[in-house]
Structure 1
Amino acid sequence: MTDLWLGAGLMLLVALSFLLIPLLRGRRGQLEEDRTALNVALYQERVAELSAQQDEGVLSAAQLHSGQAEAARELLNDTEGVMPAGTTRLGKAVPLLAALLVPVLALGLYLHYGASDQVELTEEFSQPPRSMEEMTTRLERAVAAQPDSPQGLYFLGRTYMNQNRPADAARLFELAAKLAGRQPELLGQWAQALYFAGNKQWSTQIQGLVDEALQADPREATSLGLLGIAAFEGQRWQQAIDYWQRLLALLPADDASRAALAGGIDKARASLLAAGGQPTAAAPVAPQATLKVRVRLGAALAGKVQPGDSVFVFARAVSGPPMPLAVKRLTVAQLPQEVVLSDSDAMMPNLKLSNFPEVQLMARVSRAGQPTQGEWVARGQAVSSRSDAVQSLTIDSPDQ
């Protein structure tokens, strides 16, 4: 924000110079005009003095003529280089008033229509928050500055859920769903917030949201977890086991929530046995989509890249959103390298490899560390998201 105001101050000085310089020049012209008038008065006085001396017989006609010529030369020398005074209808008050009003008016318009709050927020988000309360305040200000941003609404809603404010979170998820479309992930989060805001009371609205989410994506994690919680609270032990086992099969092996989920399944199984029931095997869950990709650097690029340059390997849908479905990050020094892209590498929970039948594999070298733009790229052909074959990518083309 300081850089912004320094830049604005510099521009203000430049603008003032265009208004104040003519005033200063006018003052200088006035001084020169006054000096010229004084020289003319002295010339007239000198001529009158010479005429009086001739009348008294002190000077002859020739001497009078010579004295007048000398006085005229002195007058010319004194007034040489003096520009005639310019005339203006504005006077001095109008430019001075404009010099004061222009920056004040510009500042008022900027504060009303400008984006100073967004500039300040950008600077704040570049620094790590010192507490969860500070992070929440930043997100609230970001949403206030950009109320039509579904990403801001989504992250603030997640923050409210972590702070046990489900009613506020439900309101934000509903707004995000209206702006971004009824994405399965948003519907699941919305349903979960409504469930906890309603004191864990199931409703037709919640049921409709989870049904819609799972119809669009049968692997939507939040909806599966919520259905398991509702079944457990309602002592429907077998349903809780089924939903949670489906969710457990979807989570990566290193996911921190796997232990808690497995513990919930054990409790539901024990409660079912205590009630005289017998747990049944859960329906099989389709495995995650995984793609093996071998990435190497073209021989012609050996001297054109640096070992620390970032390399992004990603897959995106052939028919679908342009954003990557799964991403892995490497460096040039690690090439050649074989990586595995799977649903666990998804950038968005509702955009996974398994949701799209065909994908395009790409690899990009970016010195700036930006996955969306770089210097060199490799583009593969369309491939099935369920392919078991190792795909090869050679980075050798300029990124355009």
Structure 2
Amino acid sequence: MTWFYVFAALIALVTVWYVTRPLARSMADDNGERRDQLEQLRERLLVQLNELDIEEGDRNIDANVVGDERRRLEAQLSSALRELESLGGKKKRKKTKQDSRRGWAVGLATLGILLPLTSAGLYALGQRDTLSYLYRPQTQSNPSVPPMALEMVARLEKRLAGQPNDAAGWHQLGRAFSVMGNMDGANSAYDRAYKLDPNNPELVSEYAAFIYRQNPQNTTGRVFTLYSNLIKLQPENQNAMWFLGFAAYQNGDYKQALGQWERLLIAMPPGSQEAEHLRLIVNKTREKLGEK
């Protein structure tokens, strides 16, 4: 009998939700126009990324230009995907007045007819089989990732299965997984790419930044190794200078931190907000060094 009452209560709650749903629908409609704009932007960016990959494969465009353009497009795509996810993922179509009336009718029918019938059926069948049928979890997909992106990634994975030593391909896969929010897949792909091509500054910089974003307070292990390698490959890399200064500061090595940050301060645009912020940090570090 316990399951009978529990499930009856659940059906009643669902019915109330269904009947009152039109009241909340207007709030969702307010986001419809923005969601449409974001979905159009998403599709346009994916097409541009696909065209960029084709151009790169045909070697019709300079590699540096490709890298800059890809980063720009992926930054826009990542921003659009995050905003789409915040709006609730799948687009909810607008309902007409006729749909609204139908919703009320269905809700009332559920409350007045289906609830007693379902409750009686559950009691007669002993609940278990029916409950196991009604509660059958479905695999949920991320609604913010369009099918086109999933297909592109699937094709890339298939190609890499036959070309496991393609460092550029693993790099591209890591970047795609990162944009899609698949952190484990991105980390694995970046790691494969790095092992194949550890002297690629763009790859090392991207992989290091990816790991650092996962835990900004951790300055040891793989992230430290990557940034240490990056500063050797690109001595003026500002991200590497900042990170290595921060890592030294955390370890109490204020002299090493000061050396990195003073170099970084010289390289930054004078008068910029970032430069002013870093100047304050440099002054504090000098005070710390004087106290030791």
Same fold (TM over 0.5): no
Higher RCO (Cα < 8 Å, 6 or more apart) = 2
Q: TM-score, normalised by structure 2?
A: 0.37
**Structure number with larger C-alpha Rg:** 1
Greater fraction of residues in strand: 1
Greater fraction of residues in helix: 2
Q: TM-score, normalised by structure 1?
A: 0.29
